[in-house]
Amino acid sequence: MSDTSARTHAADGPEAGGELHERAARLDAADPLRGSRAHFVLDDTVYLDGNSLGALPRTVPGRVAEVVRREWGELRIRSWTESGWWTMPERVGDRIAPLIGAAPGQVVAGDSTSVNVLKAVVGAVRLADRERDEILVDATTFPTDGYIAASAARMTGRTLRPVEAAAVAREAGPRTAAVLVNHVDYRTGELHDLPGITAAVHAAGARVVWDLCHSAGALPVGLDAHGVDFAVGCTYKYLNGGPGAPAYLYVAAAHQGAFDSPLPGWNSHAEPFAMEAGYTPADGAVRGRVGTPDILSMAALEAALEVWDGVRVEEVRAKSLALTDFFLECVEACVPSGSVVCATPLPHGRRGSQIALRCADAAAVMAELIRRGVVGDFREPDVLRFGFTPLYTSFTDAWRAARELGAVLRAPA
């Protein structure tokens, strides 16, 4: 994969492994984010599945217990005001905002990513003239985005057209109402060109919705800086919000006044407790709310976001790239030649925070890796996914994962 790693690969044995192990230790010692690992509940497992479910932040259990026992159990209904439950969606949204490059007042937490995709895509389409009769989606999108975009197209009288992400910029045209693109491909880990695609979609007179599930918390997104229109994302991967934690919706300030949600629930009403028969949408991010917010999960997420205090996303990105570079080098050194093919682009500008390796019998290989204490995941048809979460993944983790992968692939079947 590079000259250096090819040279190391020639020494495919204990010495190379030892040298890499020492380098891993030195890299860990010099890591400016090494202190963050202590904020998480971790054990001896090499956990490289934080791109699917982030580890438990130590801030969470106590906070959840407090919400259950004190806020729900003792204060009950009073907590909607006294414990700040009612405003939690926009408050949590404002905590997520700096991680994705958004000024306050544009992000609201709640619902699942799929539900937010519907809000964003329908919202984007409704900003377009009627003659713009198509919605573009990246062809290798995470499936739910494609399914929901198809539903949005059907319900707004448009046609959905899948195109390769690399082709979106040139395919967007006068018939395009809206475009939905994943920032990082969930399978290959490829990072798509958010600034370039956004500019091209705008040049075509359309709006873009970015799905940040696999990028937020792993790399700078820069929503405001690049003039993104809408974005959605989950919070249970790099944001460590917990299983099925509330997702979020970003509506750029410039579009908030015209944002016309397909889910105008009472929580998005200008005066929700007036209980009016007619719908008058609230101003601001709150317009993206729908029903009663899910307080237990939202409180867990809010506590989980405390691990970001004082952390700069740029630092996280630097470590992410160093980790994935080092992991690839270790794979070259430890894994039998030709047994895996890297599906993740090598240029830093096109790489997210995971490495996808294609190999034969990938499901069985991953099962054995997990048995050995290295947790990644398998994705159809032949992909081993290794996610690198810079707040708690160490260089030693990367080395151990590669070493075990080599052992599994060298073992007789």
Contact between 375 and a second copy (CB under 8 A)?
A: yes
Residue 251 Cβ vs a second copy, minimum distance, rounded to whole Å: 17
What's the angle, vertex CA 323, arms to CA 322 and CA 325, rounded to 5? 65
Determine which helix (DSSP H) or strand (DSSP E) holds 82, and give its type and residue range.
Answer: helix 79-82
Pattern 216-255, a second copy, x by CB under 8 A: ------------------x-x-----xxxxxx--------
Spell out a b/e string for 70-81, using b for 16 or more CB atoms within 10 Å of the CB, else e: ebbeeeeeebbe
Site for a second copy in 281-320 (CB under 8 A): 290-298, 300
What's the angle, vertex CA 202, arms to CA 200 and CA 207, rounded to 5? 115
Contact between 386 and a second copy (CB under 8 A)?
A: no
Assess contact for 375 and 405: CB atoms under 8 A. no
Site for a second copy in 162-221 (CB under 8 A): 162, 187
Q: Is 279 annotated as a binding residue?
A: no
Q: Which residues pair with 159 in a beta bridge?
A: 134
Q: Is 9 annotated as a binding residue?
A: no
Looking at 95, 132, 385, 403, which residue is catalytic?
A: 385
Amino acid letter, 220: P
Residue 224 Cβ vs a second copy, minimum distance, rounded to whole Å: 26
For residue 12, indicate whether it is catalytic: no
Percentage helix, strand, coil for the chain under 3-state DSSP, each rounded to 5: 45, 15, 40
Assess contact for 271 and 278: CB atoms under 8 A. no
Q: Is 141 annotated as a binding residue?
A: no
Residue 302 Cβ vs a second copy, minimum distance, rounded to whole Å: 12
Candidates 104, 227, 264, 284: give the one binding a second copy (CB under 8 A).
Answer: 264
Residue 335 Cβ vs a second copy, minimum distance, rounded to whole Å: 23
How many other C-beta atoms can be found within 10 angstroms of the C-beta atom of residue 10?
11
Looking at 119, 207, 237, 379, which residue is catalytic?
A: 237
The residue among 300 and 311 lying less far from a second copy, judged by its C-beta, is: 300
What is the Cα–Cα distance from 134 to 185, expressed in whole angstroms?
22
Q: Is 399 annotated as a binding residue?
A: no
Residue 313 Cβ vs a second copy, minimum distance, rounded to whole Å: 23
Q: Is 145 annotated as a binding residue?
A: yes
What is the Cα–Cα distance from 272 to 41, expressed in whole angstroms?
39
Binding-site size, a second copy (CB under 8 A): 80
Looking at 186, 236, 238, 327, which residue is catalytic?
A: 236
Residue 39 Cβ vs a second copy, minimum distance, rounded to whole Å: 13
Amino acid letter, 61: P
Q: Is 317 exposed, middle or buried (0-12, 13-18, 19+ CB in 10 A)?
A: middle
Q: Is 396 annotated as a binding residue?
A: no
For residue 211, indicate whether it is catalytic: yes
Looking at 37, 40, 49, 142, which residue is catalytic?
A: 142
Candidates 90, 302, 332, 377: give the one binding a second copy (CB under 8 A).
Answer: 377
What is the Cα–Cα distance from 220 to 143, expressed in whole angstroms?
24
Q: Which long-range contacts (CB under 8 A, 24 or more apart) does 78-83 make?
A: 79/295
Contact between 407 and a second copy (CB under 8 A)?
A: no
Q: Which residue has the tokens 């500019």?
A: 199
For residue 58, indicate whether it is catalytic: no
How far from 73 is each of 69, 70, 294, 302, CA to CA, in Å?
5, 5, 16, 20
Candidates 115, 282, 318, 322: give the one binding a second copy (CB under 8 A).
Answer: 115
What is the four-CA torsion angle of 377, 383, 387, 393, rounded to 10 degrees?
80
Site for a second copy in 313-352 (CB under 8 A): none
Assess contact for 332 and 6: CB atoms under 8 A. yes
The residue among 319 and 385 lying less far from a second copy, judged by its C-beta, is: 385
The residue among 338 and 381 lying less far from a second copy, judged by its C-beta, is: 381
Binding site for pyridoxal 5'-phosphate: what residues are annotated? 113-114, 142-145, 211, 214, 236, 266, 292
Residue numbers in the known binding site are 113-114, 142-145, 211, 214, 236, 266, 292
The residues annotated with a catalytic role in the active site are 142, 211, 236-237, 385
